[in-house]
Amino acid sequence: MKSATQIIAACILVAGVLCAASPPAQAYRAFISNEKDNTISVIDTDTLKVIETMKVGQRPRGVLLSKDGAWLLICTSDDNHIEVYDAKTYEFIKNLPSGPDPELMELHPSGNPLYVANEDDNIVTVVDIQEGRVLSEIQVGVEPEGMAVSPDGKYVVNTSETTNMAHIIDSQSHKTVANILVDNRPRVARFTSDGKQLWVSAEIGGTVTIIDVESKEPIQKIAFDIPGITAEAIQPVGIAINKEGTKAFVALGPANRVAVIDAKTYKVEKYILVGQRVWNLSFTPDEKYLMTTNGVSNDVTVIDVAKQRGYKSIAVGRYPWGIVITNE
């Protein structure tokens, strides 16, 4: 038999949940890796405030959440491993082997395994995150950087910065099925949500190449031109494409802008001014905000996606690098 207090408590809880669910108060948490500080800044996307600063290993760069949202994975590059933390309590859980100098990583859509780019060793390491062991090493080009996995889990993609290629790898056989030359110093690779296209940014080349996944051929190359900014300063890195596949946002590094691209016509529609040396970016799950990491100005710019302009800057640690946002 339930006591009256329990019933009241339950009612309050229900009311609380209802209240929390009412728009626009859905709060996610963004994890920002601060490369220089060896910390992770946790931002509440509702209040847009830093709610926690986690001390982690050396030179944290790529960050990722496990598919169930329970674990935060961090490439601590100078410690040559991946650290796993509880994404809610921020407590350390374990280290995963990663191969040397891990930089960026991506999970298989099934939640396991993890594919890690080892920048110093020309390989992609495949890691079982549950068992914590290396399953395989895949030979790629010089300075592996960007990682992506197709939504159907069939292909793993790695970009190599000095070889200037996107390597498309069969996730079952671990064999490279295509090596597609893109412009100089490719950084980030992103699949569209339907898995039909692969977008690859080239930092020094100053372009984004769009690859048709079925034919594995480049179908489009997007260049950028900003009045008053030298061509050399336009260095595309992070890419975020909305779920609908209609808009893409590309971080342009020291140009201090994020380009807004019509993902159907490939036309650049706008450049949004953000903080200095913008590298990586991520949508909140509701796609209300897009958040960018600005390495030189030590802050995160929150972009109002609908209005396509900067909404707020949030100071974080030194040299903010990677970003991942919770799903709930």
Partner 1 sequence: MVMTQREEPDAAPRARSHRLLTIILCAVAAFSGLFGLDATWAANAAPEEAKSTNIQITYVEEERDRLAPLSLLDFRPPTVGFDGAKLAVNDNNTTGRFLNQSFTLDKVSSAMPEELIEKVVAQAKSGIGFFVVDASADTLLALSDALKGLPAVIFNAGASEEYLREENCRNNVKHTAASDTMLTDALIQYLAWKQWRKLVLVIGPKPEDKLYAEALRRSVKRYGLNLLEEKEFVYEAGSRRSDGGYEQVQKQIPSFTQKFPEHDVLLVADVANQFGDYLPARTWKSRVVAGTHGLYPTTWHPASELWGATQFQNRFQRLSGRTMKQLDYAAWMAVRSIGEAATRAGSGDPKQLIEYMLSEKFELAAFKGQKLTYRPWNAQLRQPIFVALPRIHVSVSPQQGFLHQVTVLDTLGTDKPETKCTAFQ
Give the residues lining the site for partner 1 (CB under 8 A).
101, 119-123, 136-139, 141-143, 160-165, 167, 173-181, 184-185, 204-206, 216-218, 230-233, 235, 254
Using an 8 Å Cβ cutoff, are 326 and 87 in contact? yes
Q: Considering the complex, what minimum distance in angstroms separates the CB of residue 208 from partner 1? A: 15
> Contact at 8 Å (CB) between 290 and 7?
no
Min dist CB 268 to partner 1, Å, is: 20
Assign residue 110 a region: left if phi > 0, alpha if psi is -120 to 50, beta otherwise?
A: alpha
Q: Confirm if 309 and 292 have CB atoms less than 8 A apart.
A: no
164 or 284: CB nearest partner 1: 164
Query: Min. distance of Cβ 105 from partner 1 in angstroms?
Result: 17
Q: Is 195 left (phi over 0), alpha (psi -120 to 50) or beta?
A: left
Q: Which is nearer to partner 1, 167 or 190 (CB)?
A: 167
Nearer to partner 1, 119 or 299 (CB): 119
Smallest separation (angstroms) from partner 1 to the CB of 200: 13
State how far the Cα of 284 lies from the Cα of 251, in Å rounded to an integer: 16
Smallest separation, CB 145 to partner 1 (Å): 8
Q: What is the DSSP string of 101-149?
A: SEEEEEE-TTS--EEEEETTTTEEEEEETTTTEEEEEEE-SSSEEEEEE
Q: Which C-beta is closer to partner 1: that of 107 or that of 180?
A: 180
> Count of alpha carbons within 13 Å of 56, Cβ hemisphere only?
41
Q: Whose Cβ is closer to partner 1: residue 167's or residue 247's?
A: 167
Please say which residue, 71 or 319, places its beta carbon nearer to partner 1.
Answer: 319
Minimum CB–partner distance for residue 213 and partner 1 (Å): 14
